[in-house]
Structure 1
Amino acid sequence: MYQAETPADLLKKKRKLPGSRSSWTRVASTVFLLGTTSLLTDISSEMVSAMLPLYLLVALRFSPFQVGVMDGLYQGATVLVRVMSGLVADRWRRPKQVAAVGYGLSAVCKLGLLIASSSWTAIAGVMLLDRVGKGIRTAPRDAMIAASSQPEQLATAFGVHRAMDTAGAMIGPLLAVAILSIAPEQYDAIFVVSFCVALIGLAVIVLFVDNPADRAVDESEDGSSVSQAAVSLRSMIALLWQAEFRTLIIVGSALALVTVSDSLLYLVLRQRMTIPNGLFPLLYVVTALMFMIFAIPAGWLADRIGHKPVFFLGYGLLAGAYGILLVLQMNYLTAVLMLILLGSYYAATDGVFMAMATRVLPTHLRTTGLALLTTGTGLARLLASTLYGIVWSWFGAERALMIFIGGLVAVLLLAWPTVQRVLEN
């Protein structure tokens, strides 16, 4: 998959060695602009969603099974449109416009929350539409990041974007807490501010981001011309027969299937120790802070030593977070340690996995391929949340976590040699 090059070859191409002084400041301006859009959109979304699991469990008296189902739907709604948005973006060769539609839909949904009032079905519908917007925008956005980045800086570029994106996820809950402290129980104020912030994020991508250069979207990896007819449902299906890409989908989906969602994990933590309801959103903030801090270093390290070691290290950190929650006596110190490991897991896996996939995808089908990949992992996360909720209801939260830890370790042991064979090929 990776072709070795001599130092002389690299100098002739005027490229830097992975371990040279290249830094995150050298990534393309498109990455920073898309990062700004994601930062503002995440501020908007996380202002609303940070208290959602607590609201379901405490205010509406939902059972753990019902919370798991709703959490799975909230995460899994994006899979309904990801593949189609990727196919449309590749065929029209306008990933910016497709991504902008997704950002616009999510912005409008913030006003929908004002209209929904106290109707649970209406609120659930609006939140699902918000996630559909996320599904539309994710693959085209990642494809633009890949198209604007040098191959030796892919993981770093994704790390920069994820760091900015996660900064929004950190700021959003804090802003919501600040608004409620100034205007207690005035949730409409949160929805209005959330809409305004999302609108600014939409303006950034519409006004300042350009579609990738023609060469990035019109040529295949070997430089041959690629027509629009080459982008079709048949070509999308053909991607699944590409051994390297199919292996990444299977590995990513299997790992997602044994991963507990953050919302359910935080509810387990709340069960293990006393956490005031007002401090519950800070769990999201600490995790996002760790993600933001380590995303760029993890991307740089992956570009230097290889994507696979960093990716699997991330899942090792996740297993460590589960172990702390299961074994240790929980207090604020051990809770922070668990959140540090959880945020570090995201930093080592999220952008790095996208970079791994980008290296094996043909350029003209990059958006479609990334959409297929995220669809597989999204469906697995939906199923994982539902299964965890069921096992929690039957056997308790701790026993459910033990089952998922066992599954995670087993999948890691099987996935390591499988991915190694792909890299060798």
Structure 2
Amino acid sequence: MNLRYSLQVVMVNSADSSESSISSRTAYKVVFFLGLVSLFGDIVYEGARGLIPSFFLYLGASATIVGIVTGLGELVGYTGRLAGGFLADLSKRYWLFIFIGYGLIAALPSMPLSLIAGGWLLAAILIIAERFGKGFRAPARDAIIASVSSKIGRGKAFGIHEFFDQLGAVTGPLLVAGIMAYTQENYAVSFGVLFIPYLILMCVLTLTYFSIRDIEAKSSKKYTIKGPMTRPLAMYITGVFLNSLGLIPASLILYKAGLIAKGYEWLVPAVYALIQLIDAPSALAAGFVYDKIGLSVLFVPFFLTILISPVLFSENTLAIVFAASILYGIVLGMIESTYRAAIADLAPPKYRGTAYGVFYTALGLGSLLSGAIYGLMMDLKFGVGQVLVYVVIIEALALALLASAIKNLKESSK
């Protein structure tokens, strides 16, 4: 993966000077409104995602299929971010990409169609369609947040945004769990009800656009970037790829919950709500810590990743599922805040959208491979020792790359 930019231009109007012209009040306004949009978006798509693993189990899919489909969805979403980030930077039509991306969330409330025809294959197509939309909206949104974040702190800006995001991510699965319990596990009704918050989402997004549409991602017209500064970025993104390769997907945690809680499928989205409930304060706290100590805070989620899959594979009890969910929620919160904030600090301002796209693509590829590997391990009933050997080797490599990235960054800044 070559992230070296071959640009040698004299700096005239830097992105930093553009960013410094934005007031703190404006920066908070942008983060607040985009956080509000993400809140309603998460009610819909996180609510649906809390149901997907048990829904696939209901449709007769194996753990391997669930791991591959959800992993492929993440890869499509993250690869779409590479294209979406590049096109957003090129066209400067950030809001267009945001509207297209959020519009495609409608695919998830449409999941009951797979009960009529197509089975889990149609459901997989709808999942991938929504993830494609995520690929379009996320880099454009993150680039706008990054352009104003220097006034209030990168970690704080992304942490606050992620906190709003996670409020919706907790509300959505809890809403779906309640509907599943009330309707006695009626998937059609549980998915269909999500059309209501989807319509609210599109109204809020339209109001948000008219409130802050003058805010666009700022970038410099002329700048210079030294070669060594790209090396930490490459090491960091490669380390994140390996970290995601060792991180068992949430979909498989939920799939195991579905196997254990048969007859009480409403517990599956409730477990997902627990993950999101832990994610929210983790994201906010990690964002503030990141602003204090920088990239070093990332050693925490890299180490915690080693524990999650061995814990999940240790026993077939709901208590173990809850324990794995708590650990996963902590790591997820840090991925969504500090992992993203690090890109804003490591990437050249003019190419932040593209850098986020590359970063998300690495995450997606790792998620696809992780889903396939852990899904197969689950179907073949691998023991905890075998799982532990795999994750320790992968995360040791990831930690080594993270340490090297931090070391190279310090050396290049001297």
- TM-score band by shorter chain is 0.7 to 0.9
Q: Aligned residue for 1:131?
A: 131
Describe how 1:12-411 pairs up with structure 2 within 5 A.
Answer: 28-57=28-57, 59-107=58-106, 109-110=107-108, 112-113=110-111, 115-119=113-117, 120=119, 121-150=121-150, 153-209=153-209, 210-211=212-213, 213=215, 216-219=217-220, 224=222, 242-268=230-256, 276-306=264-294, 308-326=295-313, 335-394=321-380, 396=382, 398=384, 401-411=387-397
Partner deviation per Cα, 1:148-201 (whole Å, 9 max, x = no partner): 212661011111111111221211111112223444455443344312212322
Deviates more, 1:261-270 or 1:286-295: 261-270
Alpha-carbon contact 1:259-1:404 (below 8 Å) kept: no
| 2:84–2:97 Cα contact (<8 Å) kept | yes
Assess if the C-alpha contact under 8 Å between 2:179 and 2:190 holds in 1.
yes
Q: Aligned with 1:148: secondary structure?
A: helix
Cα 1:186–1:258 shift into 2, 3 Å: closer
How far off is 1:86 after superposition? 0.9
What is the CA–CA distance in structure 2 between the aligned matches of 1:63 and 1:399, rounded to whole Å? 23
Partner of 2:7: none
Instruction: Give me the whole-angstrom Cα distance separating, in 2, the residues matched to 1:377 and 1:420.
Output: 19
CA RMSD of aligned residues (A): 3.2
Contact 1:36/1:201, CA 8 A, preserved across alignment = no
- Measured in 2, the distance between the counterparts of 1:177 and 1:272 equals 16
| Unaligned segments of structure 1, at least 5 residues | 1-12, 14-23, 227-234
- Report the CA distance shift for 1:274/1:310 in structure 2 as closer, same or farther (over 3 A): farther
C-alpha change, 1:201 and 1:407, in structure 2 (3 Å) is farther
Change (3 A) 1:137 1:245: same
Return the offset for 1:317.
2.3
The one-letter code sitting in structure 2 at the alignment partner of 1:410 is: A
| Pairs aligned (count) | 385
Q: Aligned AA for 1:242?
A: T
Change over 3 Å in CA distance of 1:241–1:381 after alignment to 2: farther
**% identical equivalent positions:** 25
- Matches of 2:319 and 2:384, distance apart in 1: 20
Per-residue displacement from partner, 1:284-325 (whole Å, max 9, x unpaired)? 11111011122211111110122x222111222232334544
Superposition TM-score, scaled by structure 1 size: 0.80
Aligned residues of 2:111 and 2:123 also touching (Cα < 8 A): yes
Worse overlay, 116-125 or 273-282? 273-282
What is aligned with 1:7? Answer: none
State the AA in 2 paired with 1:295: A
Measured against aligned partners, the alpha-carbon deviations of 1:239-260 in whole angstroms (never above 9, x if no partner) come to: 9993232222211111111111
In 1, distance between residues paired with 2:250 and 2:282?
18
1:420 to 2:414 alignment: no
Contact in 2 for aligned 1:392/1:399 (Cα 8 Å) = no
CA distance in 2, matches of 1:374, 1:239: 22
Deviation at 1:88, TM superposition (A): 1.4
**Matched AA of 1:146:** A
**Normalization by structure 2: what TM-score?**
0.82
Is residue 269–residue 325 contact of structure 1 (8 Å, CA) maintained in 2?
A: no
Deviation track 1:357-404 (CA, whole Å, cap 9, x = no partner) reads: 111222221111101110111112111111222333345263553243
Equivalent residue of 2:144, what SS? helix
Moved more, 24-33 or 64-73: 24-33
Q: Residues 245 and 361 of structure 1 are in contact (CA less than 8 Å); yes or no, is this contact kept in structure 2?
A: yes
Offset, 1:212: 6.5
Aligned partners of 1:98 and 1:136 also within 8 Å: yes
- Relative to structure 1, the CA distance from residue 145 to residue 171 in structure 2 (aligned partners, 3 Å threshold; closer, same or farther) is same
Counterpart AA for 2:247: T
Provide the C-alpha distance between the structure 1 equivalents of 2:301 and 2:25, rounded to a whole number of angstroms: 24
Any conservation in 1 of the 2:275–2:325 contact (CA below 8 Å)? yes
Deviations 1:108-154 (A, max 9, x none): x2464355543223322222111111111111111111112126610
Aligned-partner Cα distance in 2 for 1:182–1:239: 59
Mapped to 2, the partners of 1:185 and 1:76 lie a distance apart of 30
Cα pair 2:108 2:191 within 8 Å, conserved = yes
Cα distance between partner residues in 1 of 2:354 and 2:98: 13
SS of corresponding position for 1:81: helix
CA distance in structure 2 between the partners assigned to 1:274 and 1:114 by the alignment? 20
Q: Is the 8 A contact 1:239 1:369 kept in 2?
A: no
Contact 1:310 1:349 in 2 (8 A): no
